[in-house]
Every structure is written in structure tokens, then in C-alpha cells.
Homo-oligomer: A and B are copies of this chain.
């Protein structure tokens, strides 16, 4: 990821409405939700919502797909991951003990790895 790209992504997230949209989409997952539903959930006017969706889309943070009359928006997990990598990758040149290992540790709280070591379903 290049500097410009990172700034566009960060700027897209650095806004109340857009961060809410993004987090909502992250929570919803890969299936996504239609625009109207986002607007209802977050109480945002259609025009305003469209403006912000375009911004997030342009930043590569979300994707869209048409389904009937509805347009479903989805969080772009890989781009988000790339952004976080960019923000950490040049860290601790020569001073490995400080660094962002802290971050790495904390990030483990995201998506706790299946707390069911006993019930192993071998099916899909």
C-alpha cells in the first residue's frame, strides 16, 4: 500500500457517519446489506449516505453488488488489513523491544479462535 492510498483510507474512516457505516458493514459480514437498511439503521438521509458510501468505496474499504433493485454494500476486509499493515510495517527500526507487538497481542482479541476445542465438526 502506498502513502496516498493509506491517506485516502484513513480520511474515509475519520468521519462519524462513515466510521459508523464501516463498522456496521464489518459487523454484518461478507453478505452485506442494502443502502436503505444502512440509512435506516444509522438515521442518515439518502443523499448524505450515498455521498459517504462513494467515499468509502473510492477508498477501497467497501464493495457493492446489485441484487434486484437493491445495492448491497460489504466491508472490504483485505484492504482494511492492508491498511493496518501499512501503519505498522515501518515500526521499530532498530528498537525491536518497544514496537507494536503490543498491537499484535491485543489484536488476538479480534475473532477469538473458536473456544470449542472439544466439539470438532469435520463437516462443512
Identify the A interface with B (CB < 8 A): 3, 6-7, 10-11, 13-16, 19-20, 23, 26-27, 29-31, 77-78, 80-82, 84-85, 87-96, 98-104, 106-111, 113-114
Contact = CB atoms under 8 A, between A and B. Distances in A.
Chain A interface mostly: helix
A95 B114 CA distance: 11
Given A15-B7, A30-B95, A93-B29, A88 B107 contact: yes
B110 A30 contact: no
Contact of A102 (B19, B81, B103, B114): B81
Contact of A84 (B15, B27, B29, B103): B103
B110 A91 contact: yes
